[in-house]
């Protein structure tokens, strides 16, 4: 009787996939895919799948998630992320209350009446965009009503 396959399927994050593609690119050019897969400690079909999805993987955000997903209100999230990046370039700290308030403002500007900036949405937004260093330092108390009193402008 055959022994069951003890090696389990490994699901890799986008960061791991990007690193594997980078390592693949650094291999000698004349290397066959089978040999390259062995060098990268992959099975050949896994390497082929990785190479076929190269464009999708490279354009994916910095997320550590396993699949590239977008939120319900993609336009609002993209606008908010641009604002966060502008603030970070200017070394301005922004927190949860202010960002949630700005998300509500962008909702009105973009005409999306179905969107509501909730704590759950914000937690998922931070996770998807890898905003792990983001903390509630812009407005003391964490009350979205106090966010208007903060001097930081997005």
Q: Do 49 and 116 share a structural domain?
A: no
CATH number, domain of 116, equals: 1.10.10
Q: In whole angstroms, what separates CA 48 from the centre of its chain? A: 24
Does 8 map to a domain? no
Spatial distance between the Cα atoms of 101 and 83, rounded to a whole number of angstroms: 12
Number of domains in the chain: 2
Which of 91 and 10 is assigned the larger pLDDT? 91
Q: Which range, 12-16, 62-66, 100-104, 126-130, is most confident?
A: 100-104
Do the domain assignments include residue 117? Answer: yes
In this structure, the answer to whether residues 53 and 92 fall within a common structural domain is: no
Residue 106 included in any domain: yes
Name the burial class of residue 102, with classes exposed (0-12), middle (13-18) and buried (19+) by CB atoms within 10 angstroms of its CB: buried
Higher local confidence (pLDDT), 127 or 19: 19
* Structural domain for 94, as ranges: 74-149
C-alpha angle with apex 32: 16 to 9, nearest 5 degrees?
40
- Given a cut of 80, is residue 69 above it in pLDDT? no
Residues 46 and 88 in one domain: no
pLDDT at 152: 39
Instruction: Give the residue with greater pLDDT, 30 vs 150.
Output: 30
Which of 4-8, 17-21, 26-30, 45-49 shows the lowest mean pLDDT across its residues? 4-8
Query: Given pLDDT bands bounded at 50, 70 and 90, which one contains residue 59?
Result: confident
Query: pTM here?
Result: 0.48
| Residues 113, 80 share a domain | yes
The pLDDT of residue 32 is above 60: yes
30 and 88, same structural domain?
A: no
pLDDT band of residue 68 (cuts 50, 70, 90) is low
């Amino acid at each position: 009787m055959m022994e069951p396959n003890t090696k389990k399927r490994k699901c890799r994050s986008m960061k791991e996939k990007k690193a594997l593609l980078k390592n693949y690119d650094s291999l000698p050019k004349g290397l066959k895919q089978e040999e390259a897969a062995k060098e990268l400690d992959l099975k050949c079909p896994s390497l082929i799948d990785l190479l076929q999805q190269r464009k999708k993987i490279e354009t994916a955000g910095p997320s550590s998630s396993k699949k590239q997903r977008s939120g319900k209100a993609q336009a609002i999230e993209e606008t908010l992320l641009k604002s966060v990046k502008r603030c970070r370039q200017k070394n301005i700290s922004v927190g949860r209350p202010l960002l949630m308030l700005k998300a509500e403002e962008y909702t009105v500007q973009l005409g999306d009446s179905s969107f509501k900036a909730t704590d759950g949405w914000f937690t998922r937004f931070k996770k998807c965009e890898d905003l792990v260093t983001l903390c509630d330092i812009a407005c003391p108390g964490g009350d979205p009503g106090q966010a208007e009193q903060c001097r930081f402008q997005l």
